[in-house]
Amino acid sequence: MAGLAQSGSNPDVELLYDINGLAKDAPGWFDRGMEFVGEYGLLLALVLLVVCCWWTVRRRSGISGEEAAGSVAALVWAPLAAGIAVLVNVPIRGFVERPRPFLQHEGLEVLVSGKTDFSFVSDHATIAMALGVGLFIAHRTFGLVGIGLALVEGFCRVYMGVHYPTDVIGGFALGTAVALLLSPVAMALLTPVTKAVERSPRVGWLVRRRSVVEEREAVIPGARTEASEASGAEERDLAA
């Protein structure tokens, strides 16, 4: 398996040279920017996207604890899926044993040095796509943005000369498979946990934003009852 994509006539290698060749023509400052983005920036952006999604679903869910608990459980699953996918990748890398492309092909512009582990599949692509698909399960809009960032991450890894295109495609497939196939089991386990957290008076804010009535009740005991009675009286007056 170690000889995968060694031939220079292989489309995988040709695409590698085409994409990585862009780094040779780009100015140095742009390559340094791509190095940071591909190594750290996009993964950090995905983590921030998960946080923004949590804040959105927590506020938008209002007093619907059921909706809030399910959405937050899906968000918890996103980083867990990424971690599981990376663990699954450990035996895959050991079985394939594909060297990094710059160890087998000359003339590549390598933007990150010190990569000595195997190439297939890309951990960065795996993590990014698992986070993106996990976000999509929780919130479609945020998920589409996350998947878009994962695709950019894959392009950056080839641009940097540290992965073949098929390394990235394999990472996308692995991250997607873990996030989707294990999500039913994960949601069945995580949703009861988030519901329990939501009922906690101390940490319930992690799952959903309290309504105005609930906030008044926390400050002034009986405010909920008074508000309900006032609402009932108003309804009776309208009926009359």
Return the DSSP state at 219: H
> 66 falls in which pLDDT band (50, 70, 90)?
low
Rounded distance, CA 43 to CA 78, Å? 13
% of the chain beyond a pLDDT of 70: 79
Is the previous residue joined to 121 through a cis bond, with omega within 30 degrees of 0? Answer: yes
Supply the pLDDT for residue 57: 83
Mean pLDDT of 180-207: 89
DSSP string, 120-183: SSPHHHHHHHHHHHHHHHH-HHHHHHHHHHHHHHHHHHHHTTSS-HHHHHHHHHHHHHHHHHTH
Tokens found for residue 6: 């060694």
Q: Where are the domains of the chain?
A: 11-106+117-199, 213-239
Percentage of the chain modeled with pLDDT above 90: 54
Report the alpha-carbon distance of residue 109 to residue 161 in Å, rounded. 6
CATH class name, domain 11-106+117-199? mainly alpha
Instruction: Determine phi and psi for 31, rounding to 5 degrees.
Output: -65, -40
Residue 158: predicted pLDDT: 95
103 vs 4, residue with greater confidence = 103
Dihedral, CA of residue 214, residue 217, residue 218 and residue 219, to nearest 10: 130
Q: Whole-angstrom Cα distance, residue 60 to residue 198?
A: 15
